Structure 1
Amino acid sequence: MQKLDELPINQLVPDPIVAREFCVTLMTLWRWTRDAELGFPPAVKIRGKNFRARAEIEAFKDRLLKGGLRERYDSRVAQSF
């Protein structure tokens, strides 16, 4: 099975590959999809299987990374006062 970063940016990625990329279960992807505040990319259902746009997955990962770095910076600034 391919890795997410080996696929073209404009490709739809099946949920099992997305789940493996985030080290989560398919059930977790289902929960993330229903959490509007999280902003996880919506699924596209094709013949009963869920796919997600790779570009949207990459944007989601960037938001997570930036949010985590921001939280870490904010906590360090708060500790310095």
Structure 2
Amino acid sequence: MANGVGKHKLLVIGPTEPWSVREKLCLATSVMTSGDQNWVSVSRAIKPFAEPGRPPDWFSQKHCASQYSELLEATESPK
């Protein structure tokens, strides 16, 4: 197994650190403005609000869509 056969690599699907409340609020606001089908616009609109030290792909279209999905799951629906 010296050549790496049988070893598994861990794939990082999205950001490993949680998004800040500010970033989540900016995401939700941008989705309200652009819609949840236009992730290019959402991603572009919220990049200026990144917390210091975030990697360049922190607000990628895929990560924005994933984070928004998590927000919806964590939100209680009105009764």
Q: Give your verdict on TM over 0.5.
A: no
If the length of structure 2 is used for normalisation, what is the TM-score?
Answer: 0.25
Answer 1 or 2: which has greater helix percent.
1
Answer 1 or 2: which has greater strand percent.
1
